[in-house]
A = this chain, B = another copy of it.
C-alpha cells in the first residue's frame, strides 16, 4: 500500500466542511490537501481488513498523521501553550461538544478524527520545551517513530517465537547497559519492565530470593523477619515494594541524609546494627543515584563497603541518574556503581525515550529466571526448534510484556552513544544556567546550597511580602502557600509547567528538572520571569 495517493485516487471533498473536523488549534490551518475522503460516511468497518478497505485506511491514517505531526510541531514550539486546563466536571459536562461517553453504535471516522484532535487539544504537551513538571519530559521524534513501529508490530516479549527481533534487541541493549555500568562480561542479566517502581520491586524480590530461596515456595513464614534500608530522600517505591512483597513497609528502615539529600554512610551502618539488635535480619540496601527531588547521589562506594561488610544486597536506584552514565563528564557521580548487585535505570527519564522504558539490571546471571520461573509447560514448551533460553516470559513477573526496547534501540542507532552524551550534558548545562541565574536574584532562594549534581534545581520564589517577613514559622506558613498559588495560575495560563512539593521540614518549593533536549536558555529565562510575574503580588 502506498501512502502518497495517485491522481486516480483523488476524491472530491467539496461535501466536506473542514471546520467540522475539530476545533481550530491556534492558527494551525486545517487542510488535508486534495485527496481526502468524506469521512462522515465512512466507518471503521470500511477500513482494513475490509476487502476494499485499503484506500480508506490510507486516507484515514494520512489524516491522523496530519493531526499528530501538527501536534508534534506545536509541542516543540517555544511560544505555544502547554495546556488548556479544565476541571474534571467540565469534561463530564461535555465541554465544547467533546463527548467522552461510550456509544452502543459506531461513530463515523469524521467524529473519530475530531475526538483525536480534542484528546490532544485538552491534553498536556509533555514534549514542550517549557514543560518542567516531571522527570520524564520531551518528545524525541525518533523515539516516537520507534513507538509507532512497535505498536504496528503489536507483539509481546513473551517468547522468541513471536518477537525474535525485539528479544535480541533487548539482549543487546541490556549488555550495553551492563558494560556502561562496568560489569564484566561474565556478569549481567536484566529485563525491561513497566517503570522504575516495578524495577525497584524486582530488586527487592531478587534480593530476598537470593538470601532466602525458600520464600518462593514457602512464603515469608518460612524465613526470618527482614529489614531493608533506604534513605530519607529515596523514592517511595522501596516502601511500596515492601508492602506488596509482604515484608511490610514498617520494616523499611529510613536512613538519614545530609543537607544535600545524600545518605549518610555512618547512619546506614548504625541503622543496620540497630535493626540487628532488635532481631531483624537486614538483607538489602537501596542507594539512590539521582533522588527525585534534589537529584542527589548517595555515596555508592561507602555504601558498597557497608553492604559487603554486612553481606547485604546493594541496589542502586538510578532510575533518574542512569542517563548520566553516558556522559564522561558526569558519570563520576556514580563511581562504584559496578559494585551494585542490581540497578534500576529508566531511559524514559534522562535519555528522553518515550514512556515507558525502564530496566532492572542484575549482576548475577540466571537469578531472575530462578526467582521467577514456574516452568509452566503449557506456556513455555521446552521442545521447540530453537534455543528456548530466549523465551523471557518466565523470568518476568508479568508473563506477557510490552515491547519497550525498540524505541530505545532506534534512538541509539540514530544518536549513537555520543548523541546521548551530548543530550545529557545539555540538560545539565541548562540546570547550571538556571542555578547561576537564580543565584543573582533576591526574589529566589535555594532549598539547598551549592551547585546541583543532577539537573534538579530546587528553590522558593519569595514575593516581596514574604521577603520582608522575619524568618520563622509564620513566614514558613506564608511561603508554603506561594508555590501552589503560582502553580494554579500557571496552569490556568498554560505557558509553562513546573512541579512543587514540601520535603521534610522544607515548606512547598519548586523543583525544576531538565530532561528535554529541546529546552533552551530562552525557556529557562521564560520560566523564571513567569514565576516572578505570577507570584510577585502574592
Contact = CB atoms under 8 A, between A and B. Distances in A.
Contacts of A402: 194-195, 355-356, 402
Interface string A27-49: 00101111100000001110111
Contacts of A221: 220-221, 225, 248
Nearest to A29: B2
B141 A126 contact: no
Contacts of A104: 416-418
Nearest to A137: B154
A413 B240 contact: no
A180 to B, nearest CB: 10
Interface string A179-205: 000000000000000111110010001
A185 B166 CA distance: 43
A469 interface: no
Contacts of A216: 243, 248-249
A427 B71 CA distance: 37
A450 interface: no
A316 B455 CA distance: 46
Contacts of A155: 123-124, 126, 355
With most chain B CB atoms within 10 A of its CB, the pick from A31, A35, A244, A517 is A244
A19 interface: no
B220 A122 contact: no
A383 B484 contact: yes
Interface string A241-266: 01111111111000000000000000
A269 interface: no
Contacts of A500: 381
A160 interface: yes
Contact of A88 (B133, B168, B251): B168
A461 interface: no
A292 interface: yes
A147 interface: yes
Contacts of A60: 141, 145
